[in-house]
Amino acid sequence: MPADLFLVRHATPDWNRTDLRYDIPPGPPLTDQGRNEARSLGAFLAQHNTHRIFASPMDRAHETAAVASGVTQTPVIIAEDLTEWERGEPESAVLERMTRLMAEAAALAADGAPIALVTHGGPIRLLLSHLGVGSAEIDFYRRQFDRDNPLPPAGAWRLIRSATNGAWQANLVFSPVEFRSFSPVTIV
């Protein structure tokens, strides 16, 4: 079945909040810059008729989704599977929960309307790699953005599953700040 998903990284949080760990709830909240990025993300998602937004329970991701939802007028569903990669959590556990949520979202997106998954850079990187995006492609983007992430704050990769062969196509399609190059990747 065809599916259309947006893998979204949360907007810019207050990384100066050293009293809050980044990897356990609530984590740092968004900055004013982050809320502006989330509004831009909402406008992008509205242009694509996104009809549902799933979000990590971490404050920075949940707030990104809530602000974007204010623009799109779509519901936000908190999904524990999208949470940040916790210190000491095995890579296999992160990938298992991300693929589980992606499969659920892909089934819901089979009606043709896209779904956004607002999560964190590390889990997105794992999922892209699992789907077959090459390490050279991922590393190219990791060098472009903050904190070694494969997309900017409030940025989005679009995953489209073909109705004919089930192959996924992955494209970095949105950045709230100008970015010089988006390169489509077809994966099997």
Structural domains of the chain in order of their starting residue, each with its CATH number: 3-187 (3.40.50.1240)
Residue 161 CA, chain-centre distance (Å), reads 16
Averaged pLDDT, 146-156: 95
Averaged pLDDT, 131-135: 92
74-117 pLDDT, tens digit each:
999 999 999 999 999 999 999 999 999 999 999 999 777 899 99
What pLDDT band is residue 181 in, cutting at 50, 70 and 90? low
Residues 101, 69 contacting (CB under 8 angstroms): no
- The radius of gyration of the chain's CA atoms, rounded to the nearest angstrom, is 15
User: Which token pair is 151?
Assistant: 């997309």
> What b/e string do you get for 127-141 counting C-beta neighbours within 10 Å, with b at 16 or more?
bbbebebeeebbeeb
Q: pTM above the 0.75 mark? A: yes
| The pLDDT of residue 188 is above 90 | no
User: Measuring CA to CA, which residue among 155, 159, 162 is closest to residue 130?
Assistant: 159
User: Which token pair is 51?
Assistant: 């009809």
